[in-house]
Amino acid sequence: MKTEIRVAAQEVVVNALREALGEKIVPVRVGKKDGFAFDTGMVDEKGTPIYAVIEATVKNTEDTKTAKAFDLQEAVQARIDSENAPKKEKKEKTPDPEVEAKRAAHAAREAIVEKWCVENLTGEPVTATVVKNAIPELEEVTIMQVGTYLKNIAARNPIVQRDVVKGKPQYTRA
């Protein structure tokens, strides 16, 4: 198919889109392809407009070195077949024993921190450093990790209250 015919066919598509969609469609360049951005009239959770990008491709009527000639009936049947094909079942992942062991260790340490908080927190604020130094089992754990444990605990346990003072999280008994 000659380039002039392909360009003329693409112009037909462009004109039809403009006629149907008016000013809601804008020519754009996405990556290395030209297309049209269509304002859906919707916004995301931040209030940003959502656009759909439409790319118009004119298919070959003859086989080329890299592609077979376009056959409408074949393409329609392929779409029907794909819609009717059974969905692939998701494989259940086999848990990685090493990852599971790390999760269990974190959960155990977090439980130790929570027990300490319930038994020892008062109205006097403490930091992650104080908690880490008070619990011998946390010797190999970083202060940041203890801070994460405390943050998790404060989110789910109403006894532990988290306040941020001058950018430093502090924990007290609620």
Residues 82-120: tens digit of each pLDDT: 888 888 887 888 888 999 999 999 999 999 999 999 999
Long-range contacts: 115-124, Cβ < 8 Å, 24+? Answer: 117/150, 117/153, 117/157, 117/159, 117/160, 117/171, 117/173, 118/157, 118/159, 118/160, 121/159, 121/160, 121/171, 121/172, 121/173, 122/172, 122/173, 123/172, 123/173, 124/172
pLDDT exceeds 90 at position 2? no
Residue 92: per-residue pLDDT: 81
pLDDT bracket for residue 67 (50, 70, 90)? confident
**pLDDT band at residue 16, thresholds of 50, 70 and 90?**
confident
State how far the alpha carbon of 135 is from the alpha carbons of 15, 100, 128, in Å: 73, 24, 11
Amino acid 52 reads A
Confirm if 28 and 40 have CB atoms less than 8 A apart. Answer: no
In the numeric block, which tokens belong to residue 166? 């001058």
- Within 10 Å of residue 58's Cβ, how many Cβ atoms? 16
Name the residue among 54, 59, 56 with its Cα closest to residue 10: 56
Predicted local confidence at residue 89, as pLDDT: 81
Q: How does pLDDT run across 126-155, given as a tens digit for each residue?
A: 999 999 999 999 999 999 999 999 999 999
Task: Render 89-114 in DSSP notation, one character per residue.
Answer: PPPPPPPPHHHHHHHHHHHHHHHHHH
What domains, with CATH codes, occur in the chain?
3-84 (no CATH), 97-173 (1.10.10.10)
Q: C-alpha 90: how far from its chain's center?
A: 19
- Average of per-residue pLDDT values in the chain: 89
